[in-house]
């Protein structure tokens, strides 16, 4: 397989790519969808169709470059690195935050954190996945009852491995910095934090066992041989609108109805039952973006000015560490109109501080970010999250 980066110059070329996207026999996997001439389009192409796609692009005069020459080489290296560090972990009996882990290994580390930092960390099960795997949330709390809280989740799209890996690093960071970092300490003395490190466990296991590029859930679709729903098109926010597919074989299939996916429904129920969630922060990859609502429509949210300023401040914090630049804006103006997304639902539900992060990189490796970048990614992401969390702490509503 090859990954190409296609640069469109105008709306007409974007439409040509959308035509290409509709040709199912080509089995294209768009890592970045064709939406606007301003954005590059990254697409994975099975080896036997590479020539056909290149011929199509060339015949229409559309410029492209090869992002990843041979995807299998990258996949093999990732697998090899994982096996190597797993062995090293076993011999040293410690969790290596700088490598990718299986679901079982992540879940074991959640237990380890809850026991090592039992003064502030506890583990809750908020539901189970379609294939009956538990959905575990870490609760960081210094007491009180039903304090205002911050929600953070990662890995709703299973192939975005740097998000689950960053989330588990962030869990350790919050736990170990309490009592040392004055800002975080004051935050946890006032508020709770809930962290869902693996939002889509079935998909995540599937990316380890079968198909590294799997994005959706693993639920069965009635009347179709294609499996899975895009859980970030399944929320009850403009559900079924533009930027989501009604084709079960599509990677952005919205599902039969809003909240049809138990992984989504479990989070919605948890947030509704809690009743005091003040921020909803979700981690995706890749593209280095920090976005606020809306995605399902292209109008500004009521709190546009505050969210935009806070997003820019958080992007500044991210950049301060390694110089990684993030683009800030609403989903619709920054990438494309997309309906049924989580932060649109949370914002419309009344959670003012709703943000989606797209972590590293900008396409050199895409979803296959080398493990050597996990910790730097987590560190800079934490600074952005912390900036937002401090604002939430200091601006109750």
CB 215 within 8 Å of CB 159: yes
Contact by Cβ (8 Å): 350, 117: no
Q: In which element (H, E) is residue 167 found?
A: helix 161-177
Q: Is the preceding omega at residue 361 within 30 degrees of 0, hence cis?
A: yes
Do 268 and 293 meet the contact criterion of CB atoms below 8 Å apart?
A: no
Q: Considering the candidates 160, 358, 380, 390, report the single residue annotated as catalytic.
A: 358
To 5 degrees, how large is the angle CA 163–CA 167–CA 172? 155
Local structure of 54: helix, strand or coil? helix
Catalytic site includes residue 12: no
Cis peptide bond prior to 323, omega within 30° of 0: no
**244, 236 in Cβ contact below 8 A?**
no
CA 294 vs CA 307, 349, 388: distances in Å: 11, 13, 18
- Tell me how many degrees the CA angle 24-226-1 measures, rounded to the nearest 5: 50
Q: How far is CA 194 from CA 142, 170, 205, 393, in A?
A: 13, 12, 23, 15
**CB-CB neighbours of 29 under 10 Å:** 18
* The pairing of beta strand 353-359 with beta strand 289-292: antiparallel
Q: Counting beta carbons within 10 angstroms of the beta carbon of residue 222, is it exposed (0 to 12), middle (13 to 18) or buried (19 or more)? A: exposed
Beta strands in the chain (DSSP E): 2-7, 29-30, 41-45, 63-68, 121-128, 134-140, 149-154, 192-196, 277-285, 289-292, 327-330, 353-359
- CA–CA separation, 2 and 74 (whole Å): 11
User: Catalytic residue numbers?
Assistant: 358
């Amino acid at each position: 397989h090859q990954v190409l980066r296609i640069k469109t110059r105008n709306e007409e070329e974007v439409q040509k790519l959308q035509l290409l996207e509709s040709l199912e026999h080509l089995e294209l996997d768009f890592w970045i969808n064709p939406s606007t001439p301003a954005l590059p389009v990254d697409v994975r192409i099975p080896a036997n169709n590479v020539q056909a796609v290149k011929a199509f692009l060339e015949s229409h005069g559309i410029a492209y470059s090869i992002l990843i020459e041979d995807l299998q080489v990258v996949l093999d290296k990732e697998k090899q690195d994982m096996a190597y560090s797993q062995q090293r972990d076993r011999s040293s009996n410690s969790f290596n935050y700088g490598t990718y882990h299986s679901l079982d290994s992540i879940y074991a580390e959640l237990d380890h954190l809850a026991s090592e930092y039992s003064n502030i960390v506890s583990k809750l099960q908020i539901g189970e996945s379609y294939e009956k795997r538990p959905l575990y949330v870490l609760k960081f709390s210094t007491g009180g009852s039903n304090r205002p809280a911050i929600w953070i989740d990662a890995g709703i799209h299973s192939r975005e491995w740097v998000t689950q890996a960053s989330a588990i690093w962030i869990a350790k960071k919050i736990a170990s910095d309490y009592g040392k970092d004055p800002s975080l300490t004051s935050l946890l003395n006032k508020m709770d934090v809930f962290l869902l490190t693996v939002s889509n466990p079935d998909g995540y296991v599937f990316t380890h066992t079968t198909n590294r590029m799997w994005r959706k859930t693993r639920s069965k679709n009635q009347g179709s041989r294609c499996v899975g729903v895009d859980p970030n098109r399944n929320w009850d926010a403009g559900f079924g609108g533009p930027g989501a597919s009604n084709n079960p074989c599509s990677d952005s299939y919205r599902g039969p109805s809003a909240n049809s996916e138990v992984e989504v429904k479990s989070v919605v129920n948890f947030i509704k039952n809690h009743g005091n969630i003040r921020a909803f922060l979700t981690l995706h990859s890749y593209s280095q973006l920090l976005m606020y609502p809306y995605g399902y429509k292209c109008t500004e949210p009521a709190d546009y000015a505050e969210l935009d300023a806070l997003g820019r401040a958080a992007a500044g914090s991210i950049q301060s560490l390694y110089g990684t630049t993030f683009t800030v804006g609403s989903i619709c103006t920054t990438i494309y109109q997309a309906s049924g997304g989580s932060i649109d639902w949370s914002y419309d539900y009344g959670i003012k501080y709703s943000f989606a992060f797209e972590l590293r990189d900008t396409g050199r490796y895409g979803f296959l970010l080398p493990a050597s970048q996990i910790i730097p990614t987590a560190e800079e992401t934490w600074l952005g999250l912390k900036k937002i969390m401090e604002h939430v702490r200091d601006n109750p509503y």
